[in-house]
Each structure stands twice: as C-alpha cells, then as structure tokens.
C-alpha cells in the first residue's frame, strides 16, 4: 500500500505544480498588459501617477535552528491611491513576480533551491518630509520551488513578509527605498504540519519605484 500511496502523492504534487505554471503564464501576461496601460495613462503631465513599477532585491537570514537563507529579486506593478499632492500618496497596492534562491542548513555546502513567487503587497505611507517618508508594508506570496524546501518539506509554499522602511523621492515619481522585513514561509496542508514546519527569517531589501 505504501508504494501506491507514494505514487498518489507524486501525482498530486505534479498536478499542483502544472496548475501553478499555467497560472503563472496567465499572471505574467496580465502584468505585461498593465505595464503598457500604465505608461499610456502616466504620459499626461501634471497628473498624479496612479500606476507605477517597483523593483526590489532582498536578502533574508534566520538566526535560529532553521538556519535558512533567502535571496529574492522581484518586480511589482503598483496601484497608487489617496494622493496628498501629485507626487505623494498615502496607500498603494502591488501585484508581481519574484525569483528566489533559497538555502537550508542540511548538506555541506548548503545546496540552493530556485523558486518562483506570485506576490500581493500593500504599503501605508506617512506624509513626506523633505522628500522622505516612512512606510509600513505587508506582502502575501505563493512560491513554487524546483524541489522540496526545506529538504523534507514541500514544493509549493505560502508565505508573508511584514515590516517597514524609508523612501526618498529623487524626482517626480522616481523613488528609492530601503526596508527591514520579517520573512515567513510554510505549507500547512494535509501533510504540511508534519513535513514542512514554519520557517522564519529577518532581512533587508532595497529598490527603486518608477
């Protein structure tokens, strides 16, 4: 019975990954459409930039028994809301894709695992002071790895980031930012609680928003 159960588990995982790949392709097409659409709307001068583009690179590490490491680079299409002035808004929402290079403590040297993530984010900003403002950020993500992460875990994982940072407006809608985030990932499905416990890390990220 055990071999049959293992085959069923493999089929379920393969079906889940295949479905995720199909959704990723559709999601990527939607992002391309939104990019062209935003360029057309934002071409009008003296109007708030309701749409934007954000590129982020981050590094997260745990200092507990998990001993994991994550390097993440991503792109988000951003919707800006509640403008105080044409340059500054209070709230934004983002949807995007990210690539991850994940390490876990098992093995010597640590073997990296590649991942692709679908992300949704929200930021709340303070009013600007001399082109600088502080923000709080929350991110929800769904990540598919090329193999189990951690080594005894699952391929598909859910996760979230929570933290805050500082943003500086260089010119018009071009902004630089840096942030500190708590990184959490897990997959508590039917088998997840035993095979894939929660992993946590802390890290920094920086990027540019246009």
- Provide the pLDDT confidence category of residue 69 given band limits of 50, 70 and 90: confident
pLDDT at residue 104 greater than cutoff 60? yes
- Is pTM beyond 0.85? Reply is no
C-alpha 68 chain-centroid distance? 17
pLDDT at 108: 43
pLDDT at 145: 87
pLDDT at 62: 81
- Provide the pLDDT confidence category of residue 81 given band limits of 50, 70 and 90: confident
pLDDT at residue 200 greater than cutoff 50? yes
Q: Which residue has the higher pLDDT, 20 or 129?
A: 129
Helices (H), 43-183: none
179 vs 101: CA distance, rounded Å: 19
Q: How many C-beta neighbours within 10 Å does residue 114 have? A: 13
161 vs 92: CA distance, rounded Å: 16
Q: What is the pLDDT of residues 120-173, one digit of tens each?
A: 999 999 988 888 999 999 999 988 888 877 777 778 888 888 999 999 998 877
- Provide the pLDDT confidence category of residue 195 given band limits of 50, 70 and 90: low
DSSP letter at 114 equals: E
Strands (E), the chain: 51-61, 69-83, 89-103, 112-125, 132-149, 154-171, 174-186, 199-209
pLDDT at 153: 73
Considering only CA atoms, give the Rg of the chain.
19
Domains of the chain: 2-209 (2.40.160.20)
C-alpha 158 chain-centroid distance? 11
196 vs 153: CA distance, rounded Å: 4
Q: Which residues contact 119 (CB under 8 A, 6 or more apart)?
A: 74, 76, 94, 95, 96, 97, 98, 139, 140, 141
- Provide the pLDDT confidence category of residue 43 given band limits of 50, 70 and 90: very low
Q: Which two tokens stand for residue 60?
A: 């997260």
Closest CA to 153 of 114, 102, 192, 109: 192
Q: Which residue has the higher pLDDT, 103 or 150?
A: 103
Closest CA to 156 of 106, 195, 128, 202: 195
Q: How many C-beta neighbours within 10 Å does residue 68 have? A: 20
Mean pLDDT of the chain, nearest integer: 77
pLDDT at 185: 80
């Amino acid at each position: 019975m055990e071999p049959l159960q293992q085959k069923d588990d493999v089929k379920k995982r393969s079906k889940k990954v295949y479905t995720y790949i199909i959704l990723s392709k559709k999601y990527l097409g939607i992002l391309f459409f939104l990019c062209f659409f935003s360029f057309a709307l934002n071409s009008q001068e003296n109007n708030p930039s309701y749409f934007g583009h954000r590129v982020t690179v981050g590094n997260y590490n745990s200092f507990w028994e998990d001993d994991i490491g994550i390097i993440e680079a991503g792109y988000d299409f951003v919707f800006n809301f509640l403008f105080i002035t044409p340059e500054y808004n209070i709230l934004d929402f983002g949807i995007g894709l990210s690539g991850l290079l994940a390490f876990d403590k098992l093995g010597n040297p640590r073997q990296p695992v590649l991942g692709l993530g679908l992300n949704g984010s929200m930021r709340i900003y303070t009013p600007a002071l001399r082109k600088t403002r502080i923000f709080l950020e929350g991110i929800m993500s769904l990540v598919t790895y090329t193999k189990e992460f951690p080594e005894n875990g699952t391929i598909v994982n859910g996760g979230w980031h929570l933290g805050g940072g500082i943003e500086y407006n260089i010119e018009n809608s071009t902004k630089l930012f840096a942030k500190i985030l708590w990184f959490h990932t897990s997959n508590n499905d039917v088998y997840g609680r035993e095979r894939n416990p929660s992993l946590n890390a802390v890290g920094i990220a920086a990027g540019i928003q246009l």
